């Protein structure tokens, strides 16, 4: 059983985390390059937030949203 968990450790530490080691090593020489992954995640979250708000606005304008306080049984 110990070999199984050591195999998982080897998979993640030696192979799957290599890109993160590269970004960590470039942090002092190039801050923008080291934070590229963070910027990509921020852009993805921003696009998802804009899409979500546009969908909420679409349902609001079509009067499809039930905003009555008794819409959920636990709010009665």
25-52 pLDDT per residue, tens: 888 899 998 899 899 999 999 999 999 9
Q: Which domain holds residue 10?
A: 2-61
Distance CA 42, CA 49 (A): 10
Residue 69 maps to a domain:
no
Does the structure show a pLDDT above 80 at 69? no
Residue 16 maps to a domain:
yes
- pLDDT class for 76, splitting at 50, 70, 90? low
Kindly list the distances between the CA atom of residue 18 and the CA atoms of 11, 29, 35, 43, 52, in Å, as whole numbers in the listed order. Answer: 10, 18, 15, 23, 34
Residue 71 maps to a domain:
no
**Number of structural domains, the chain?**
1
Residue 26 maps to a domain:
yes
Report the chain's mean pLDDT, rounded to a whole number: 88
Residue 73 maps to a domain:
no
Residue 49 maps to a domain:
yes
Tell me the angle at which helices 18-25 and 36-61 cross, rounded to the nearest 10 degrees: 110
């Amino acid at each position: 059983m110990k070999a199984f968990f050591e195999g998982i450790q080897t998979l993640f530490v030696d192979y799957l985390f290599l890109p993160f080691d590269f970004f960590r090593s470039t942090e002092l020489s190039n801050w923008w390059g080291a934070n590229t992954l963070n910027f990509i995640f921020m852009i993805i979250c921003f696009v998802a937030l804009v899409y979500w708000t546009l969908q909420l606005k679409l349902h609001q304008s079509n009067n499809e949203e039930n905003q009555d306080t008794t819409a959920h049984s636990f709010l009665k």
